[in-house]
Structure 1
Amino acid sequence: MTELQHIAITPHLTFDALVEGDVGAPMVLLLHGFAESMHCWRAQLEALADAGYRAVAPSQRGYSPGARPDPRDASNYHIDRLVEDAMAIAASCGYGERRFHLAGHDWGGSIAWALADRFAERLASLTVLSRPHPNAFNRALPMLDGDQAYRSRHHTAFLEPDAGEKLLADDAKQLRERLAAAGVPESAIAQHLAVLGNRDAMEAALTWYRARGAIRTPLGPIRVPTLYIWGDADETVGRMAAEGTADFVAAPYRFEALAGVGHFAGEQAPDRVNELMLPHLAAFPV
């Protein structure tokens, strides 16, 4: 059964997390993106626990009320801090000296790529949904067809000072419509907005974008066995960036393009995502 836990990594940083599976079993750390929360992994938590894993899905920095430093200082939300959080959460769960599996979606994918670049020796496997390797994204962004630049136009909008106010206007209508159009169930949308649908959480979440800026920092080749899942109806990531990710993984690599699936594959097509993840993790035990 999925439990809500509170994971403290410092006296001032305590993360809400959904946890399922036996204590001491191989861990899978699951990192969510925007505009979601720990709840985006509910289907994967159950499947992973049934397969013998300890699955941990935190609401990350800014999303968890107990881990929300002042967003007026963007350095509090730099990707380095987000990577450090993930490693500290793993340690707090008892895996500080053990390898574990890592999965990330959207912004959680960006964090997962960076963590795999810096801490390859700590990871048994990497699974990323939607978000391409940063180098593949950076290569696709200035292409003359403008496809990726157009798909990523919302990143620039999120840097505006009134972005949070606009996203929360009219009972978060814009977010609700975007998530629903991408196949996220209404019940899941309500769960995400219970976490994110307030001014403090939204401003913190948007500070992730403001701390990074419009361009992702280039990384080296990934040396962790990687599964990359992309839906070909993803409005934010084009085919060039998705397929180009293969050029930046120097380890066993599998790319799966899901026909008709959008940005939120874990919620739109949970059974298919589980069917891909479980054999990948089993092939690369801790």
Structure 2
Amino acid sequence: MPEQQPVHPTAHHPVHRVVEVPGGRIHCVEQGSGPLVLLVHGFPESWYSWRHQLPALADAGYRAVAIDVRGYGRSSAPAGVDAYRMLAHVADNTGVVAALGERTAVIVGHDWGSRIAADSALLRPDVFTAVGMLSVAYSPHGGPRPSEVFASMGGEEEFYVSYFQRPGRAEAEIEPDVRGWLAGMYTGLSGEENHGGLFFVPPGARMADRFPAGPLPAWLSEADLDVFAGEFERTGFTGALNRYRNMDRDWEDLAAWRGMPITQPSLFIGGAADASTTWLSDAIDAFPTTLPGLVSSHLLPDTGHWVQQEQPERVSGLLVDWLRTVAPVTA
């Protein structure tokens, strides 16, 4: 039988691979060739969140690589809660760049991936030459301990980050009906719904109790939901939720970077109908100070939290326009 030849990614052919990094293994989906653009998803998602951007960036002349963050998909899922601290995610991203044979990359993240991308750029400016942030605006480290801030929010109701803290608690709500829970979360934070109230959990209730009923949003097909649900049905949610359980550790680990801006060229894209954008409006207003290298900032109307999936062509176009200024493609 002839030896199978390796498959190389092209603009029309994505390739899955798992690369070794110091902290374990990271699953990557790669498409195209050219300057490296690392795409980092948020909660509760996967590399598949970038399914529209991979071919668009590849067609524009970039080597687009979407990862499964540790704890998700086919990437390593260490058992210890503290294995999901921000320093580990930054090390994973740095390790992926090296494993792909590159020395530098542009990094783009959404939701938690936005914060991971921002901190990757903050801690390793030698590796990450530009940073794009979707849905979650950058704010410098500092201020009170996060657990104290979250505990003070919501009055009698519990803020979702606090609800996620105790290992096993949120898992017990989510894992009996992964597909249904994801459908409610994706629908509830879409531009059509804008259910900011689902971030708060009344005493004795579940987060899902405030999820909207009804059809999936237009941007999410049943087949798309099957992909997301299939991954979490296999892996469970503990690895994903452990990111939230390290915010106080991050506050301690990153004390040396308190108040520091990100100086590399940057981009922000948010949804005007996203509660995260509303909560972080002060952070967006502070961009001239906190992101002195900001190239452009965009709030997309009638768009919720899942910006690159809700408005794929618009977001891909904005990314390509920005990339052409920060990482030009050479002929």
Q: TM-score, normalised by structure 2?
A: 0.75
2:93 pairs with 1:100: no
Alignment RMSD (CA, Å): 2.9
| 2:39 aligned residue | 30
Aligned to 1:267: 309
- Tell me how far apart the structure 1 counterparts of residues 159 and 115 of structure 2 sit (CA, whole Å): 17
Taking the aligned partners of 1:13 and 1:233, their CA distance within structure 2 comes to 37
Per-residue deviation at 1:39?
0.2
Give the structure 2 partner of residue 223 of structure 1. 263
Confirm or deny that 1:169 pairs with 2:180: no
SS of 2:43's partner is coil
Q: Quick one: percent identity of the two aligned structures?
A: 26
Residue in structure 1 matched with residue 62 of structure 2 by the alignment: 53
What is the TM-score when the length of structure 1 is the normalising length? 0.86
Alpha-carbon distance, 1:66 to partner = 4.5
Q: Which runs of 5+ in 2 are unaligned?
A: 1-11, 191-216
Give CA deviations for 1:195-246 in whole Å, capped at 9, x if unaligned. 2234x44111101111224986545100111110111111233133333344
Asked whether 1:279 is paired with 2:321, we answer yes
Q: Are the aligned partners of 1:110 and 1:134 in contact in 2 as well (CA < 8 Å)?
A: no
- Which one of the candidate residues 142, 160, 171 is aligned to 1:154? 160
Q: SS in structure 1 opposite 2:140? A: helix
Task: Give 3-state SS (helix, strand or coil) of 2:243's partner.
Answer: helix
The amino acid across from 2:30 in the alignment is V
- The yes-or-no answer on 1:205 pairing with 2:240 is yes
Following TM superposition, where does structure 1 have runs of at least 4 consecutive aligned residues deviating by more than 6 angstroms? 136-139
Separation (CA, whole Å) in 1 of partners of 2:283 and 2:21 = 37
Q: Which residue of 1 aligns with 2:83?
A: 76
The verdict on how the C-alpha distance between 1:153 and 1:236 changes in structure 2, with shifts beyond 3 A counting, is: farther
**After superposition, what is the alpha-carbon deviation per residue over 1:49-91, rounded to whole angstroms, capped at 9, x for unaligned?**
0000000001110113451111xx2221111001100110111
Q: Deviations over 1:82-108 (max 9, x none)?
A: 11001101111111x2x2211000111
2:32 matched to which residue of 1?
A: 21
SS state of the match for residue 276, structure 1? helix
Task: Report which of the two structures shows the higher radius of gyration computed on alpha carbons.
Answer: 2
Change (3 A) 1:109 1:29: same
* CA distance 1:107–1:11, change in 2 (3 Å): closer
Q: Which has the higher helix share?
A: 1
- Which structure 1 residue ranges, 5 or more long, are not aligned? none
How big is the shift at 1:18? 1.3
1:136–1:248 CA contact under 8 A, matched in 2: no
